[in-house]
Structure 1
């Protein structure tokens, strides 16, 4: 199966002058943002402060010689081999990386990471990282449901504003998962006159927004620049509300595992697309939306806080620690505050009930069509 790694191998000798930036380059850069480039890529936003992808790769492996190839439970293992491929290709090796920032704040419930890739003179791709392995990052994602904005969105807005002030040129924004949401948020909130310098905004299977945001004047100003990609069985990329066309990509994985960008099928310099979302995707997302509407914003907040109070009671800071340190979910619940367990239990019963209703509705609709 061909994917973005195949693309790098087959087209890595072509410069951006010979083969212009395309949707696969976008996905590659969105994956690059998952790598922790602390003390490698300069964190100062400056035209003069940079490191090439080749040098960044060499430096990364110098600092992480004992690395086993994994950088988190939910970050694909292919990310680091991809970095090596990029470093050894003519197309990518000399691209300049600027302004790497990583901010994780448990107290503020913030997980934010971003960097800029200079594609060529006066053309930059600003890559916003999706949710990493931290429990803090996942709690922030859940908070998107009831908060007007989350700290990572404000950090993305600030990052883009600062970058566009310092560097003159045109910008492509993008990210995978939450990173796609951050890219759209930052573009929406940026100074009106700077919006003309944004060429496109790529949301690669990232969640949407509340309706108030989508109806705002500032969002309408950048709406036609947004490009959405989701896999056939998307879950994350259909959360909340979206506008515009969904470009549906074929995947080699099944179900929620299609969120893995390395499972997205490619042909030459583009994705292999299909016409419709899978029935599984439709049922899951209808169930989630129906479930959420059954709860008030206060109930949503209570559920999220209680759920993460239970997880954080283990003192684990990452999902990897939760899984591989063999924390027992039943022990966690047993030892947690009784009110927390009641709130979480009640919400999960509602979710199961809504799922049952949606599945029954879909089966009934199919039977009615057969009978017509």
Structure 2
């Protein structure tokens, strides 16, 4: 998980980036800035607008996904980061350095040590062994042969290809070849990993396995990854944040949940329309804030806490964590002479807790079966929110309802026995 970006400086910062393909790109740029469309400029000048006023920040340790349809400019954008494509105008700052100011020698060093790329078609050298392919970037860096082989072997094992070091690319499946490509990119120990449609050529099952492996590796490595895809499901699964391009224009960027639940325009809405939200959203992204928390030791103390609450129930928590739901009705039925007694299981309703990182799909049965919203626990086991049937229904519906939530309302009679 990435840190709070408000406390971080971006690792990559792209400012006012334009790319116009054609012999008079800088001259045509003025028409782009004047607001002419991509189609108009192509018809009038024969030039193609690749990117128009792109502004993005990529933060350390995040997977930043750039997506869009073919021709949207996503691959053009990623190739600007290491100046495989020269911009028509704009700034590209990487780790505080202006990439546009690098001379040929510095740019070569930058490409060898700062960024690694994983390509859609693997880009492996057919006459080199798997081990030599993985260690190729280190060879370019001038790393000694013994160290190169040792590091390459470590990454070979990491991506699950132990025993394949002497094989050649043609002897491997597509998924195995892409694992070699991933290991080669990681082997250089570059801070930034650029992945351009890296899994698009793979069969769906192998593609899913590669996504799983990337997520698993990222949890250990915390690389900064810029991932290009045309597949929204892949973007939602991998991305900490997503940028969506259309005809070279950045139409929306944000967290997956923001894009899924609040598409910026019809173009983005068309992307998200058919997404299975239950498989894409976690509980944490849609839960509501924590409701009443009862932490009293005695029934009388619980009565006092409930009296101050707006709801007619609360989550009972003791030193062992969340124990169950206690209701106003239950407390009202306790005799006053028993107020000094400890709260025990007989006073609690068994309402299951759910984890904040669980997919909605996994918690639908419990949510629908419970009379009360379910408490949401964080990784430390603390209650940090709740999920109700009405919230679940609203999120999973095709169009969010503007009606008020029908979540269980508090009773109007809050007069507990004194």
Taking structure 2 as the reference length, the TM-score comes to 0.29
Instruction: Specify which structure has the higher proportion of strand.
Output: 2
Instruction: Specify which structure has the higher proportion of helix.
Output: 1
Larger Rg: 2
